[in-house]
Chain A
Amino acid sequence: MKLPEIDLYLIAPEIILTAFGFLVLLADVFSPRTEKKGYLGILSLIGIVVAFFYTLPLIGSGKSGFEGMFTADGFALFLKVTFLIIAFITILISMGYAEREGIAFGEYYALILFSTLGMSLMASGTHLITIFLGLETMSIAIYVLAGMLREDRRSVESAFKYFLLGAFATGFLLYGIALLYGATGSLQLKEIATYIASKNLLRNPMLMISLVFLTIGFGFKIASVPFHMWTPDVYEGAPTSITAFMATGVKAAGFAALIRVFFTALPQFRPDWTSIMWLISVATMTVGNIVAISQSNIKRMLAYSSIAHAGYILVAFVAGNDIGISGILFYLMAYAFMNLGAFTCVILLGKKGEENTLITDYSGIGFKYPLLAASMTVFLLSMAGIPPLGGFMAKVYVFSAAVKEKFYWLAILGVLNSAVSVYYYLRVTVLMYFREPQREITGLQFSPASVLALIIALIGTFYMGLFPANVLSFAQKSIVGLM
């Protein structure tokens, strides 16, 4: 019998994230209770930077290991870089916000690191066990994080709803996996694809049901219509830093696993899932944008806008060509920068006990806090898809992928939807610059870490809009060998 080969360099980023997660927990326990806990955030930031430097040398190697359970191909690494950026910015935001709200415990930072670990496993897994474990590592950590504000009823309620619906969706995902296993006899994605191709199982009812259940399970994680009902409630109630993390990280990880499973294991069923996804994509964009218009709470509005963005990304998923998949990677990164930036502005406009999350609270802040209002405007315009910002280029790639595959209606509906979205993004901008303040907002404290996060997000948004070629060519190199 041969012992399996173990290549620890392949999972070095994951090991480092785990180790630093535990280190943060220990540092919290062994430090005096009265002390301020700012260094815990710094320790987690160091962990993320170290993990980042262990991710970089893997790029281009395209190695996989652990008996086909884990891969470090370009697709996984691009997403890992995205996840690490997201976690980095989230922790920067948290350092001010968590301190302000009194939740800056070691667990808070450790759970962010653990859920980042889960995300990387989801992107890297080529075996359904790895993908499932990654998904659950991420989700369970996020359930706790969403309810971190124990005194706030809305936060508790958001954790409650997320937990029940998340566990419910997990049941569907698992049943889908079980049927897939029963029909093909394997859990390894490539082996599943080979088996389906060799036995010609295209009309196997078990696989058809499995396909539906997998769509439900992943559809929940990426918040696509009709599995989006939890999104606004959870995003509104959760601590704002965690909302930002969920809207960017969890969504990106959901897309990573969705793309991996559908394109690697089930490419034979492309005609079947293309039509389902076409419908889901259109419904997701439309519902997200139309309901966002009538929102009065900015966190809720951004939640609906994140649903709409999932719809745009699904446009590229339906197209499914090279431009489409690299467009998705580009989109996820651009979306991470602009959405984290927007949530940072939301955080900065609040203070302890006074969140100021109503959209009307934004009236007139353009004169009082010009830099904050200007950055918010940049992020909102980028989400609306105005050139020369990152969100514009992302949409160009996504829609051109659809046009290239002759999904003209899908592209047209996407562009129309993005025109609708301009309305509610601009409404906030108009309020900020052309309305008198409705009530006095004073005494805001801009913590240096949050300002740094804001600057990084601004640079990212502008860079991806002005020099998209660099990131896009990285994305295009990343998807070689995925399909």
Chain B
Amino acid sequence: MILPPVPPAFYLVLSGILFTIGVIGALTRRNAIVVFMCIELMLNSVNLSFITFSRFLQSIEGVLFAFFIIAVAAAEAAVGLAIFVMLYRSKETINVDEVNLLKW
């Protein structure tokens, strides 16, 4: 059985939903690693949008952009996890609520 092709709008809606889940998660979760995972989800939902648009518009630039986002996200993860380790060493927690030395 051959399924009919999924219309591009569906992918965009999915991307929007994923982005929203990412934003809500990043704002409500308290564990830094989960927050960071939510941010990664936001970036990946953007990738999905880019690839959908790229296919729909028959232009290669969107796919290229998605590759760059993947590369940058990897670099960001490397730096971010190093910062989390450093934080854990100095405070023994990565709960974002307990990181409150600096405030007015």
For A185, the chain B residues whose CB sits under 8 A away are 53, 57, 59
Note all chain A residues with C-beta closer than 8 A to B42.
168, 171-172, 174-175
Known: A133-B68, A158-B102, A237-B102. A181 touches B86 (CB 8 A): no
A181 to B12, CA, bound (A): 13
Could you tell me the distance between the alpha carbons of A160 and B35 in the complex, rounded to whole angstroms? 12
Tell whether A171 pairs with B43 under 8 Å between CB atoms, given A143-B79, A163-B83, A182-B49.
yes
**B interface, by DSSP: helix, strand, loop or mixed?**
helix
A140–B76 touching, CB < 8 Å: yes
For A155-193 the 0/1 string (1 means CB < 8 A from B) is 011111101100110111011011101100111000000
* Residue of A with least CB distance to B100: A157
Q: Which of A81-89, A97-105, A146-154 forms contacts with chain B?
A: A146-154
Interface string of B64-104 (1 = CB under 8 A from A): 11001100100110011011101100110000100101111
A174 contacts across to B, CB distance below 8 A? 42-43, 46, 69
Q: Which residue of B lies closest to A234 (CB)?
A: B102
Question: Is A164 a contact partner of B43 (Cβ separation < 8 A)?
Answer: no
The one of A153, A156, A170 in contact with B43, judged by C-beta atoms closer than 8 angstroms, is A170
Whether the pair A159, B86 counts as a contact (CB closer than 8 A) is: yes
* Closest beta carbon of chain B to A128's beta carbon, Å: 8
Identify which of B65, B83, B104 contacts A232 (C-beta below 8 A): B104
Do B75 and A136 touch across chains, with their CB atoms under 8 A apart?
A: yes
Chain A neighbourhood of B12, CB < 8 A: 182
- Asked if A153 contacts B91 (CB within 8 A), the reply is yes
Interchain CA distance A150-B90 in the complex, whole Å: 9
Tell me if B83 and A181 are in contact (CB < 8 A). no
Q: How far is the CB of A166 from chain B (nearest CB, A)?
A: 9
Given contacts A181-B53, A182-B53, contact A161 B26 (CB under 8 A): no
Q: A73 on the interface (CB 8 Å rule)?
A: no
Task: Give A168 to B42 CA distance when docked, in angstroms.
Answer: 8
A156: which B residues are within 8 A, CB to CB? 83, 86-87, 90-91
Q: Which residues from B are CB-within-8-Å of A182?
A: 12, 49, 52-53, 56-57
**Residue A330 lies at the interface, judged by CB distance under 8 Å to chain B:** no
Q: What 0/1 readout, one digit per residue, does chain B (21-60) give for beta carbons within 8 Å of chain A?
A: 0110010000010011001001101100110110011010
Closest to A180 in B: B53
Say whether, besides A154-B101, A178-B46, A295-B104, A144 and B79 are in contact (CB < 8 Å). Answer: yes
B43 contacts across to A, CB distance below 8 A: 170-171, 174
A154 CA to B26 CA in the complex, in Å? 22
- Closest-by-CB residue of A relative to B15 is A178
Contacts of A132 in B (CB 8 A): 65, 68, 72
**Given A159-B86, A181-B62, A187-B61, A140 and B104 contact (CB-CB distance below 8 Å):** no
Map CB proximity to B onto A225-241 as digits: 1 under 8 Å, 0 otherwise: 00000001100110000
The distance in angstroms between the C-alpha atoms of A171 and B38, with both chains bound, is 10
**Inter-chain contact B68/A175, CB cutoff 8 Å:** no
- Interface majority SS (helix, strand, loop, mixed), chain A: helix
* Set of chain B residues within 8 Å of A426, measured between Cβ atoms: none
Q: Give the residues in chain A near B91, CB-CB below 8 Å.
A: 153, 156
> Which of B36, B46, B102 is in CB contact (< 8 Å) with A233?
B102
Contact status A168-B39, CB under 8 Å = yes
CB-based contact B101/A171 at 8 Å: no
Q: Which residues of B contact A143 (CB under 8 A)?
A: 79-80, 83
Contact (A181, B46) CB under 8 Å given A153-B101, A160-B87, A161-B99 = no
Taking a contact as CB atoms under 8 Å apart, the answer to whether A167 and B99 are in contact is no
Query: CA separation between A319 and B104, bound complex, in Å?
Result: 34
Q: Are B49 and A178 in contact (CB under 8 A)?
A: yes
* Contacting residues, chain B, for A159 (C-beta < 8 A): 83, 86
Bound together, the chains give a CA A153 to CA B32 distance in angstroms of 17
Contacts of A136 in B (CB 8 A): 72, 75-76
Min CB gap B95→A, angstroms: 11
Given A133-B68, A153-B91, A160-B87, A181:B61 Cβ within 8 A: yes
A129 contacts chain B at the CB level, 8 A cutoff: yes
Given A140-B75, A153-B101, A233-B102; A147-B86 close (CB under 8 Å): yes
CB distance from B70 to the nearest CB of A (A): 12
A residues in contact with B35, CB < 8 Å: 164
Inter-subunit contact A157/B87 (CB<8 Å): yes
In the complex, how many angstroms separate the beta carbon of B62 from the nearest chain A beta carbon?
6
CA distance A147 to B80 in the complex (A): 11
Instruction: Please pick, from B19, B52, B80, B104, the residue contacting A167 in the complex, using a CB distance under 8 A.
Output: B80
| Closest Cβ–Cβ distance, residue A292 to chain B (whole Å) | 11
**Residues on the B chain within 8 Å of A170, using CB:** 43, 76
Interface pairs (13), CB distance under 8 Å: A128-B65, A153-B91, A157-B87, A160-B83, A160-B99, A164-B80, A167-B36, A167-B80, A174-B43, A179-B49, A181-B50, A181-B53, A232-B104
Q: Which 4 A-B pairs have the closest CB atoms?
A: A171-B42, A182-B53, A233-B102, A178-B49
B interface vs A, CB < 8 Å? 12, 19, 22-23, 26, 32, 35-36, 39, 42-43, 45-46, 49-50, 52-53, 56-57, 59, 61-62, 64-65, 68-69, 72, 75-76, 79-80, 82-84, 86-87, 90-91, 96, 99, 101-104
Besides A154-B101, A161-B99, 11 other CB < 8 A contacts?
A129-B61, A147-B83, A156-B86, A157-B101, A158-B102, A159-B83, A161-B102, A163-B79, A178-B53, A182-B12, A185-B57
